[in-house]
Amino acid sequence: MLKPSPLKNVAVAVVNGVTPFEMGIFCEVFGIDRSAMGLPTYDFAVCAMEGNPVTVGDGHYSLTLPYGPDRLEEADLICLPADRQAPTREYPEPLLEALRRAVDRGARVLSVCSGAFMLGAAGLLDDRRCTTHWMHAPALARRFPRAKVDPDVLYVDEGRVITSAGTASGIDACLHLVRQEQGAEVANTIARRMVVPPHRDGGQAQYIQRPLPRTSCDTVGEVIGWMGRHLEEEITVEQLAERAHMSPRTFARRFLQETGTTPYQWVLRQRVLLAQELLEATDETVDAIAGRSGFGTAAALRHHFLRTLNTTPNAFRRTFRGPSAA
């Protein structure tokens, strides 16, 4: 296997509709001279892929960039920020060819959020694990069926192809790569300078609330509303079926058809979401939150947090409220 190139030369490939935050992640991690702090510097360039100037976001303003597609040929790392039209748009062939050549010669490519669609269009997600923002994951899987899309993680490192989920997870992926290439001290110093957590493991779950699938009919909606208001209580299928005036078997089948999940899994997920909200917004103990969210005990809450989010309640609280909240 071809060994990845050392991390010295970094190029950001920018298409029309680029989202400024995701582009700024790469500029912040790799584009600032921190040599006075004893950190390595990168030969850094932001490159226009579709002519100059490049439109930003929804077209409210534009940027004139000093480099074009040719600059990608010398990069050890090509960074791909998100763009507004990613799920459906077509990308310029010179960009896709440059990405394929980069991976072939041992360079890395790293996408944030919907930037993964550029990698998919270049064929670089075929038979590889990858991720993107959870809102875009179904579209990415449909458009590139050979991609092994995992919507539940922060980032995926497949050697020369690194993909990350939305916004902040792009910082995680960049710092992961810096840590891998230049050590934990360098990555931690950059993280402190950026005032972000120094390390979140890529396998950690995206902290997301997935809306229920929309359906053409709705015969369990009223019952779902009742379930959401009584999460702290014991809820059985028999209770729910009685409220819906159905047999338990018919109710369970109809619930699965209309929501895509079982009543048990729906309640479990909503309880985890409620616990997340209470951990973020209150100073209540984990025991109290376990009771309010329907888990009963702190041990049960920890168990389901680990299974659902790959983290613990206290770790979740520290992440979102700082170490003093633990």
Fold identical between 9-194 and 221-325?
A: no
The whole-angstrom distance between residue 198's C-alpha and the CA centroid of its chain comes to 17
Domain spans of the chain, in order of start = 9-194, 221-325
The Cβ of residue 27 has, within 10 Å, a number of other Cβ atoms equal to 16
Among 208-217, 263-272, 282-291, which is the least confidently predicted range?
208-217
Among 135-149, 176-190, 217-231, which is the least confidently predicted range?
217-231
Residue pLDDT, tens place only, 66-121: 999 999 999 999 999 999 889 889 999 999 999 999 999 999 999 999 999 999 99
- CA quadruple 85, 86, 90, 93: dihedral, nearest 10: 120
322 pLDDT tier (thresholds 50, 70, 90): low
The DSSP bridge pattern shows strands 161-164 and 155-157 to be: antiparallel
Closest CA to 46 of 63, 61, 21: 63
For domain 9-194, give the CATH number. Answer: 3.40.50.880
Residue pLDDT, tens place only, 7-51: 999 999 999 999 999 999 999 999 999 999 999 999 999 999 998
Q: Is the pLDDT of residue 210 over 60?
A: no
User: For the residues 281-296, what does the mean pLDDT come to?
Assistant: 92
Inter-residue contact 190 to 39 (CB < 8 Å): yes
Q: What is the CA radius of gyration of the chain?
A: 23
User: For the residues 259-285, what does the mean pLDDT come to?
Assistant: 87
- Spell out the CATH class of 221-325: mainly alpha
198 pLDDT tier (thresholds 50, 70, 90): low
Q: Distance between CA 62 and CA 10 in Å, rounded?
A: 22
pTM greater than 0.75 (yes/no): no
Beta bridge partners of 47: 13, 67
pLDDT score recorded for residue 78? 98
Host H or E run for residue 129: strand 129-130
Eight-state DSSP code of residue 97: H
Conformation bin of residue 63: beta by default, left when phi > 0, alpha when psi is -120 to 50: beta
Amino acid identity, position 315:
A
Q: What does 295-313 look like in DSSP terms, one character per residue?
A: --SHHHHHHHHHHHHSS-H
User: For the residues 180-209, what does the mean pLDDT come to?
Assistant: 75
